Structures are given as C-alpha cells and as structure tokens.
Structure 1
C-alpha cells in the first residue's frame, strides 16, 4: 500500500480540496443529516452571506454551493434538496444556466405543495467604486490576477484614450443613480427589493461593486423573514461579510458622499494591503496576453464610460 507521502502533491492537494468542499457543504452532500423545516438560499457568492444572516437555531438554512460552481450531479442534488425544503430564497437565475437545470423557474418546479420560493436581487452598486467593473467577455476565460476587478481608467489608458483620474461629485452621483435605476428595473419582477437601502450611502455598503456589506445583508434578511412569515430577527454574524477583498476608497468618493471614513488608496485582500500600482501592473500584463479584451470590455461598459469621457 502506498504511503501518503508517496502521493504526488498535486493529486493529494486536489483530493484534499474535494474532501474539504464536501465537508463544508456536509448536509448538501449527505454527510450530515438534513435539519427539520430547513430553508435554502440559492445564487452566486452573495447567497452565502444572506444565508448566514437568515440562519438561526429555530430557522435553519442549509449551506449549498454557489450555482456557478455546480456540476451536473450537484444540480441534480440541489433539486432533491429543494424538494425537501420548507422554503427557498433565490437570486434570479436564467433557465438552463450553464447548461444545467438551475433556473429559478426550474427550481420552483421541484418544490413540494406548501413550500415557497421567493426571489432577491443580485446586488451591484457602483456609487462607492465608480472606477470599477466586474465583467467577463465572451470567448475570454478567467479573470486578471490579484483581484478579479477591472479599473476603467486603466482600460481606457491601455486602449489609448486615457480619462481623468477622478469624477466630479455630480458624475459620481450620476453613476450611483444609474446603478440604482438598474437595480429597480430588476426588482420589478423580484419579491424582496434592496435598492432603497442605499440611502444614505456608507462605506460599509459595498466592499467592491458586487460584494455588499452588512448594512445591506441585515435589513435584506429582515425583509426576507417578513415576506416568508418566519419568526425572529436577522442573525448578526459579529463580523463583516464578504470582506475578504476590499477595493480602494478614494478621496473624491469620500468627499462626494460626505463619509466619515479616511480614504484608502490600496486594496485589502484577506486583510493584507495590496497597492493599486501592483494591481495595475499585473492587469496590464494580463490585457497584453488577452488581445481583444480591452475593446470588448469598454464597449460593454459604454454607459459607465460616458461619465468618464465627459469628466
């Protein structure tokens, strides 16, 4: 029999990663028993934060993998879980997402009589980071190194049409208004709104353009509890949620919103500072290795870039 030390590191690491993931989602994979009268939150990386503030001893919420990570067998397992859940909270997911039956309507079909599915929005807000985009371009896989976010000022520079380093306060508010208008448009077909929670804006509202903070999660959870007719209050996790990656908080943004926070010119990744220069250098190299990304991204970001072009 081979000793553990004889296993190539890559294989051992891969097996450890798989086992660790299965343990993390123990009940989902059948390693732990299903709780009674449990709920499920389904969606992207934001879903786990909402699950955390909804979960309580008398209101158990099962942890499930984010839909963008799911395999075919895991999608099948999700339908089995949904069929036994008392309620499901889901971000809107299109039918046959990633060629799997993960659409919100498809999950609804698996509910048992008396169970409910309600929808919450996928939250994006650019008012605190109007220079930032989280975007994919068809045909170009993966994200740039260090942080998976693009600085539109760097994109414009690489494209040969640089823009100003900052926006005016009116332009910052206009970018925020555009983001809230898009949220309200999506909320027209969603059960629990969130767009009104951004008045007033605080630095804790968003860590990045798509990672909301506790001032969003706690009141959103309270609304979900109310809509579902459940008992109790949201569970305060006692720590910042979705805070492993935090974008810079630039001085002109602080000034626009009258924030009490000190500006921060660097990223925080797992609590460690990361300079913007280091990010830009790595991203320039990545753009050079992915021809076509910059122009395609700027085309998709045209509404945001209009504010920067006129600054």
Structure 2
C-alpha cells in the first residue's frame, strides 16, 4: 500500500475498519455533497460513518458498503442508477441491504446554474480525466474549441431562462425523491452556490433538516461553524449580478483553496485540454444543446472573457 492509499484508508477509517459498529449508525451515499451533509447531520443520536464518494468506490469497497448497510439504522442516498460503474451501487440495490425496520431517505443532487449560466460540471463516458486547474467547463471556451464563438454575456431574460431550465430539471429529478430543495432558489444568492454544484451552508442545513424530518422523528441539523464545500468559488459575472439585482461585487477570477486563480490561465489550460480530448468536446456539445441555444453566437468574432 502506497502513501496515498494509506492516507485514504486512514481518512475513511470507520469505513475500512474490519469490524462493524455495534451501536446505531447511519450512512449517506453520494458525491461530495453527501459528505458535507453528513457533517451537519452527524450526532450522538445517529452517528454517521464517513465513506468515500460513490465515484471512488471499487468492487471491494462496494461489498464493504453492503455489509455496513446490512447493520445500519438509516441510509440516506442521492439517486444512483443500478449497476453504476458496473457495481451494486444503485439506490434500490443499496436499500435492499437495509435490515427490516431501518429508515431510509433519498435526496437530490443540488445543481443550479442560475448564478453561473456559463458553467458546466460534466463527465463524458470514456474520458475519465478532468480538465486542469478547475474541474468545471466554461461553455464559451468549450464551444470555441469546436469553432463556435458565443457572446461573452447573456441578457437578463436569458440568465433567468437558464435558471428556469435548471430549476425545472432539479424539480424533475426531485419528483420521485423523499426530500426536495428546489424551492430555496427563488431568490438566488452567490453565498449559497459557490459553483453550479457546490451549495453553501444554508442550503445544506435546510437539506439536513428536511432529511431528519423524512427519517423521523424531526430533529435539527447542526451548523459546523465553518463554510462547507468552500474550496472552489467560480467567477461572479457582472451581467449575472445585474440580471438578479444582486448586491455582490463582480469577481473576474476563480478562488481555489483560498488563492486567486486567473480566469484566462484557466481558459488557456482548458483550451489545451480540449485540443487533446476532441471526443469530449463533441460529446459535451451534443449534450448541452438546450443551453447552447440560449447563447447568441458571434460569427467570426474571437471569444472574449
């Protein structure tokens, strides 16, 4: 076992422990949002084990997860399709391992583009690598890689249209879940969405309260006293701020782990990445047709950031 593997197993010590907890405990399964939700829900009444995000689990991890679930008092899960990555990780597959009498709740993956209508967080099958510097795509830079020059900004009505599309998709995904969150985005706030998929503490706390209500009996989530999902902050575009009548100051650049990262450096690094991954560019553009139609094109004009 190398140093990185050893550090990972230490970080998830409860998950990799050869024993199973003998007292009541719960699990939250999903992406990075799941770990932040675990932090606000973990309590003496229901300890929640820290587990790796689903995209990091291998076959041995999944078998360990099912063993833990078979002893758990509660399971909270984001929606995961059956046989995800060829593994028994689907929400229904996980719930099937719960002992009789245990509680479960399904929760949405929080994704909202109304404050960052230029930003994409996506993966394409066959391309496992993420772009450098920040694992987010700017639709203007991505489109330019395919020879499509988009306007640098959207009009206010288009910003709101992108937001409405985003909320419609979130509500569609929530329709069959036990917990919803889409109602919190009627008046969007940059403090509540650092990127399209990194919600702030108020969103996470409200989601936590609703999870506890769904599990019953009602309880209250606990604020950890520090910002969660705080490592990456996307630029704040002036035209987006104006569209919402927000009070925030525009910010041209990214903030990554507390450091300012020049957006043009990010764009240049991503241009090189797209040149090396043309299959990603074409597959991604095929998937975001509705968003592309929201952006006016500028024939022959260079992309301006």
Q: TM-score, normalised by structure 1?
A: 0.92
Give the match for residue 145 of structure 1.
132
* Structure 2: segments with no counterpart, 5+ residues: 299-305
Give the match for residue 65 of structure 1.
52
RMSD of the TM alignment (CA)? 1.6
Q: Report the secondary structure of 2:34's partner residue.
A: helix
Confirm or deny that 1:84 pairs with 2:71: yes
Aligned residue among 173, 185, 193 for 1:186: 173
Please show how residues 237-256 of structure 1 align to structure 2 within 5 Å.
237-256=224-243
Confirm or deny that 1:158 pairs with 2:148: no
Q: Measure how far apart 1:82 and its partner are.
A: 0.6
Q: Report the secondary structure of 1:94's partner residue.
A: coil
Whole-Å Cα distance in 1 between the matches of residues 221 and 152 of structure 2? Answer: 40
Give the match for residue 114 of structure 1.
101
Give the match for residue 8 of structure 1.
none
Give the match for residue 304 of structure 1.
291
Aligned residue among 270, 280, 297 for 1:293: 280
Give the match for residue 270 of structure 2.
283
Q: Measure how far apart 1:310 and its partner are.
A: 6.8
Corresponding pairs, count: 298
Aligned residue among 64, 78, 81 for 1:94: 81
Whole-Å Cα distance in 1 between the matches of residues 204 and 66 of structure 2? Answer: 26
Give the match for residue 30 of structure 1.
17
Whole-Å Cα distance in 1 between the matches of residues 176 and 14 of structure 2? Answer: 31
Whole-Å Cα distance in 1 between the matches of residues 161 and 218 of structure 2? Answer: 39
Whole-Å Cα distance in 2 between the matches of residues 53 and 144 of structure 1? Answer: 30
> Relative contact order, CA 8 A, sep 6+: which one is greater?
2
Q: Measure how far apart 1:137 and its partner are.
A: 2.1
Q: Deviations over 1:48-99 (max 9, x none)?
A: 0111111122231111111110011110000011111101000011111111
Q: Measure how far apart 1:35 and its partner are.
A: 6.3
With over 3 angstroms needed to count, the CA separation of the structure-2 counterparts of 1:35 and 1:171, relative to structure 1, is farther
With over 3 angstroms needed to count, the CA separation of the structure-2 counterparts of 1:35 and 1:196, relative to structure 1, is farther
Give the match for residue 49 of structure 1.
36
With over 3 angstroms needed to count, the CA separation of the structure-2 counterparts of 1:152 and 1:35, relative to structure 1, is farther
Q: Measure how far apart 1:231 and its partner are.
A: 5.1
Whole-Å Cα distance in 2 between the matches of residues 153 and 310 of structure 1? Answer: 10
Runs (4+) off by over 4 Å = none
Whole-Å Cα distance in 2 between the matches of residues 112 and 220 of structure 1? Answer: 25
Q: Is the 8 A contact 2:231 2:256 kept in 1?
A: yes
* Structure 1: segments with no counterpart, 5+ residues: 1-13
Q: Deviations over 1:126-182 (max 9, x none)?
A: 001000111222232311111111101112222222111111111111001001000
Whole-Å Cα distance in 2 between the matches of residues 33 and 215 of structure 1? Answer: 33
Q: Is the 8 A contact 1:23 1:31 kept in 2?
A: no
Whole-Å Cα distance in 1 between the matches of residues 105 and 280 of structure 2? Answer: 36
Whole-Å Cα distance in 2 between the matches of residues 268 and 310 of structure 1? Answer: 29
